[in-house]
């Protein structure tokens, strides 16, 4: 395993009943990159994410994190890996009965024996890193716009200072300005915190603006994983349909990116 490879997936097989989602799937996630993962509906993007983070046991193949096979770990070893991973699911997946602050505090309480005041300070720092206004900490998820819930989910994913961040459709449901601001936030956090980012998305703007490489899932495996400029020229029919349409032409064109990822920038029209 190359030292610049953080995660190595080899021969992954995922099956649901008679449906084979992945078969002989190989993928490397390199340290420090933003890897965009795309594919058609039912291609298994979210299943791949869940298999890598340990939420689904593969039906074949292996997943290695820093050279260690994580496919069949003891609970104690699995927890050690989990503390190095941050996951943000669609729409934040926050606990509705907890405030934003309590949602972000929860992984810290479960993983560390820290004084309550320190837990609160760390959680407030993570909330501030995502650009949420200070008063958002005391609000419940139902009181937030969709964009703010995504930021709150991102703050919780960052709670344990992960090495790699998994994001599942983070810009889904956001207006174009909000999506651009969230892309900028992800890029800024990657650079500031030395993160690796695994980004499941269907947003072509994200692929062109922040992704170092793009992996395309099709026909139950990774068809290509390369720079977006190389991927768009791949002969696979789905790739050609995706990257040669009007939406792709718009994404390739220059688009303004907000200078800062402020809370208001992607708050509007995102409920």
Distance from C-alpha of 92 to C-alpha of 155, rounded to nearest angstrom: 9
Query: What pLDDT sits at residue 66?
Result: 81
| Mean pLDDT calculated for residue range 96-120 | 94
pLDDT digits (tens, 9 = 90+) for 135-157: 999 999 999 998 999 999 999 99
| pLDDT over threshold 70, residue 259 | no
Query: What pLDDT sits at residue 214?
Result: 97
- The vertex-224 CA angle with 168 and 196, nearest 5°, equals 45
Assess contact for 138 and 101: CB atoms under 8 A.
Answer: yes
Query: What pLDDT sits at residue 78?
Result: 82
pTM as predicted: 0.88
Distance from C-alpha of 68 to C-alpha of 77, rounded to nearest angstrom: 10
Query: What pLDDT sits at residue 204?
Result: 93
Question: Could you tell me the CA-to-CA distances from 232 to 37, 136, 146, 169 in Å, in that order?
Answer: 14, 40, 31, 20
Query: What pLDDT sits at residue 209?
Result: 94
Fold of domain 5-84+162-265: Rossmann fold (3.40.50)
pLDDT digits (tens, 9 = 90+) for 64-95: 998 888 887 777 788 888 889 999 987 668 99
| pLDDT over threshold 60, residue 206 | yes
| pLDDT over threshold 60, residue 255 | no
Tell me whether strands 196-200 and 164-168 are parallel, antiparallel or unpaired. parallel
| pLDDT over threshold 90, residue 197 | yes
């Amino acid at each position: 395993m190359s030292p610049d490879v953080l995660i190595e997936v080899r021969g992954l097989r995922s099956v649901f009943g008679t449906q084979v989602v992945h078969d002989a799937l190989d993928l490397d996630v390199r340290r420090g990159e933003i890897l965009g993962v795309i594919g058609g509906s039912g291609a298994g993007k979210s299943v791949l994410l869940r298999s890598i983070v340990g939420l689904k046991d593969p039906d074949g193949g292996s997943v290695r994190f820093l050279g260690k096979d994580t496919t069949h770990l003891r609970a104690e070893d699995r927890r050690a890996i989990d503390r190095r991973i941050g996951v943000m699911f669609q729409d934040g997946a926050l606990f509705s009965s907890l405030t934003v602050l309590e949602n972000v505090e929860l992984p810290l309480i479960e993983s560390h024996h820290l004084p309550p005041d320190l837990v609160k300070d760390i959680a407030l720092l993570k909330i501030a890193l995502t650009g949420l206004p200070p008063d958002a900490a005391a609000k419940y998820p139902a009181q937030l716009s969709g964009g703010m819930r995504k930021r709150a989910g991102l703050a919780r994913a960052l709670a344990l200072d992960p090495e790699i961040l998994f994001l599942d459709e983070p810009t889904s449901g956001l207006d174009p300005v909000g999506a651009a601001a969230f892309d900028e936030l992800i890029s800024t956090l990657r650079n500031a915190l030395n993160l690796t980012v695994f980004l499941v998305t269907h947003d072509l703007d994200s692929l062109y603006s922040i992704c170092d490489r793009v992996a395309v899932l099709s026909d139950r495996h990774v068809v290509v994983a390369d720079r977006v400029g190389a991927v768009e020229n791949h002969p696979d029919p789905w790739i050609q349909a995706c990257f040669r349409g009007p939406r792709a032409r718009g994404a390739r064109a220059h688009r303004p990116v907000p200078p800062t990822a402020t809370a208001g920038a992607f708050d509007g029209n995102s409920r």
